Each structure stands twice: as structure tokens, then as C-alpha cells.
């Protein structure tokens, strides 16, 4: 006769099996139901107090909120002068430390700091240093702090931006109309070579593009010489900057004697202004979003070399 377990012998076995099943379900539920660390975005720009420049910032803000649904999006301006001016107007915007503190208050554990600079010049270097300093002062506050690179880092970035700019200015340009772009630049030369690289990419695609900077090595006179050599008689001027702020409205398209528009007209060139920042140019903000998503540069950890 086969051996069978008695009624009393089954009880401990059934209990053990039920207990193991319960523990297994509990462990599975915890693993699958555990929420991922909350992510947040810190958008960092130099800042502007020009009301007409705000559409660019609003467009960038909307682009990031669409790309990171549910994630807090906080802004920081690096210019103390602009922050003070806005605070006096009752429109305060904090600095980098303020923004990181707000994200921590919001329960964020993974921060993506995205530079809104066009090129990695002096302002971007200061931004990196400020974020690193804040991270070192508040160890363990965040699990990760990723740093997104500026808009133009690679040849692909430049080609993508140029396509966006050309599409946005197409209706204003005729067959022989040149596009004149004003970059910011920096008096000490930072980003000069990067700017030249961008210019080379742009020029290889469209020979009727001419560029110069407000403060960099490639200046207005260099650009005007190029326009005269190409016998250009009509240009569309536009800022190669995130916003169409003070530089765009005064240095580029203003009525002053030293503005680019005035000097171009004196040179016998017809001028039309396209006062639209890159932030509000369709397709341009997508580059910044991509850089934020692709960044693996975690400032809370030592750099790793392959």
C-alpha cells in the first residue's frame, strides 16, 4: 500500500508552502512596484529682462515639459544683475543654488542640469563650477546630477540647427538674399574656435550665410568685407542667440549709428530683421532636449574613462 501523508502531516507542509508563496509575492511586488527615483530639470540661462525675449524661454520651457512629463522644470539665471532687476520688478528668478534647492524640496533625486548656452564658452565653464560647488556642499542630496552640454557641440548639432534656422527664415529670404547671424562671443577668445567650426559647417551648406560676434575674434568688419566680396545687396539679419534680447534689438537691429543694421545700410545693403531667438525657432530647442537626455556626465561621481 503506498505511503500517504496524514491530515496532520499535511498542515505544516501547506503552511510552509503558503508562507513561501506569500514571501515570493511580497518580494516581486516590491521589486516591480518600486518607484524610480524622481527626476527633475534645471534649465540654466544667462537671463534676460527684455519682455520681448520671453517667448524664447517660454518655448524652451514647453519643449522640456513635453519631453519630461511629470518632472519639475525649474529655471535659474546666472546673471546677478538681471536677477536683481527682475526681483525689483516683482518677477524673481533664482540662481543655480536656488534652483537645486527647489528641486530637492520637490523630492527630486535625479537632476538634469541643462545649459541653454549656444557654445561652451566662459559662461558654461562658470555654470559647471557653480553646480559642482553646490553638489560638494550638499553631499548625498541627489543620487545623480547630470550636466547637459550647450546647444552646439558637434557637426551634427550645427547641421540640425542650420536646418531649423533656414526653414524659419525661408520666407524672408529671396534667391540672392544673404543671412547674417550675430553670435555673442567673448573678449578673451573662449569659443572663438568653436564659432569658426560652426561657421564652416553653415557655410559649406549655404554660401550666402555670413556670421560675426559682438565680442569675439570674428567681428562686424570681417563680416562686412565678406558681404562686399560676395557683392551682396540684400540681407536678413538674425541673432544666433537663445533669445532676441538687448544685443538683438540694439546692437544688431537698433537705430544707433554703430548697430549692424545701420552700418549695413550705410554700405548700400538692404536690411530686413528677423528678431527671433533660437529658443523660439522650431526644432532648435529639440537639440537641447536631446543633450539633456543623452548626458551621462554625473557630477556626483568621479569621471570614468573607458
Predicted confidence band at 28 (pLDDT cuts at 50, 70, 90)?
very low
Kindly report which listed range (14-18, 130-134, 184-188, 224-228) carries the lowest average pLDDT score. Answer: 14-18
Ligand-binding annotation for 30, yes or no, is no
In this predicted structure, what is the pLDDT of residue 50? 87
Alpha-carbon distance 102 to 106, whole Å? 6
Q: Is 280 annotated as a binding residue?
A: no
Q: Is 247 annotated as a binding residue?
A: yes
Domain extents for the chain?
A: 39-151+284-294, 155-280
What are the residue numbers of the active site? Answer: 184
Compute the CA torsion angle 50, 91, 63, 151 (nearest 10 deg).
50
**Looking at residue 31, what is its pLDDT?**
42
Architecture of domain 39-151+284-294: 3-Layer(aba) Sandwich (3.40)
Per residue in 236-276, pLDDT (tens digit) is: 999 999 999 999 999 999 999 999 999 999 999 999 999 99
Tally of CB atoms within 10 A around 270: 12
3-state secondary structure of 181: strand
SS3 (DSSP) at 209: strand
pLDDT digit string, tens, across residues 88-106: 999 999 999 999 999 999 9
At 29, is the pLDDT very low, low, confident or very high (cuts 50, 70, 90)? very low
296-302, long-range: CB < 8 A, 24+ apart? 296/146, 297/146, 297/147, 298/144, 298/145, 298/146, 299/113, 299/128, 299/131, 299/132, 299/135, 299/145, 299/146, 299/147, 300/135, 300/142, 300/143, 300/144, 300/145, 301/144
Three-class secondary structure of residue 100 per DSSP: helix
Structural Rg of the chain based on CA atoms: 27
Q: For residue 2, what pLDDT is reported?
A: 44
pLDDT at residue number 221? 97
Instruction: Tell me, yes or no, if the two domains 39-151+284-294 and 155-280 fold the same way.
Output: yes
Question: What pLDDT is recorded for position 8?
Answer: 47
Fold of 155-280: Rossmann fold (3.40.50)
Residue 69 above 90 pLDDT?
A: yes
Question: For cell 522640456, what's the residue?
Answer: 64
- C-alpha grid cell, residue 148: 547637459
pLDDT of residue 248: 94
Range with the poorest average pLDDT among 20-34, 49-63, 270-284: 20-34
- SS3 for 215? coil
Amino acid at each position: 500500500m503506498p505511503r500517504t501523508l496524514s491530515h496532520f502531516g499535511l498542515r505544516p507542509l501547506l503552511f510552509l508552502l503558503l508562507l513561501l508563496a506569500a514571501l515570493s509575492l511580497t518580494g516581486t511586488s516590491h521589486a516591480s512596484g518600486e518607484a524610480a527615483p524622481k527626476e527633475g530639470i534645471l534649465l540654466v540661462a544667462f537671463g534676460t529682462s527684455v519682455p520681448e525675449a520671453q517667448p524664447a524661454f517660454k518655448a524652451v520651457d514647453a519643449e522640456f515639459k513635453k519631453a519630461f512629463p511629470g518632472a519639475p522644470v525649474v529655471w535659474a539665471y546666472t546673471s546677478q544683475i538681471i536677477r536683481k532687476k527682475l526681483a525689483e520688478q516683482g518677477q524673481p528668478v533664482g540662481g543655480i543654488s536656488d534652483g537645486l534647492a527647489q528641486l530637492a524640496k520637490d523630492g527630486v533625486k535625479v537632476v538634469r542640469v541643462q545649459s541653454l548656452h549656444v557654445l561652451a564658452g566662459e559662461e558654461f565653464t562658470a555654470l559647471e563650477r557653480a553646480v559642482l560647488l553646490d553638489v560638494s556642499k550638499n553631499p548625498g542630496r541627489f543620487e545623480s546630477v547630470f550636466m547637459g552640454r550647450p546647444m552646439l557641440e558637434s557637426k551634427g548639432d550645427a547641421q540640425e540647427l542650420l536646418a531649423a534656422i533656414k526653414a524659419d527664415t525661408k520666407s524672408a529670404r529671396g534667391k540672392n538674399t544673404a543671412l547674417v547671424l550675430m553670435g555673442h562671443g567673448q573678449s578673451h577668445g573662449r569659443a572663438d574656435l568653436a564659432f569658426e567650426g560652426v561657421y564652416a559647417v553653415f557655410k559649406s551648406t549655404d554660401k550666402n550665410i555670413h556670421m560675426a560676434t559682438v565680442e569675439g575674434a570674428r567681428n562686424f568688419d570681417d563680416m562686412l568685407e565678406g558681404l562686399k566680396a560676395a557683392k551682396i545687396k540684400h540681407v536678413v539679419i538674425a541673432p544666433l542667440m537663445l533669445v532676441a534680447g538687448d544685443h538683438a534689438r540694439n546692437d544688431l537691429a537698433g537705430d544707433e549709428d554703430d548697430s549692424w543694421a545701420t552700418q549695413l545700410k550705410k554700405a548700400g545693403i538692404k536690411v530686413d530683421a528677423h528678431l527671433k531667438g533660437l529658443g523660439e525657432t522650431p526644432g532648435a530647442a529639440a537639440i537641447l532636449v536631446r543633450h539633456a537626455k543623452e548626458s551621462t556626465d554625473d557630477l556626483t561621481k568621479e569621471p570614468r574613462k573607458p
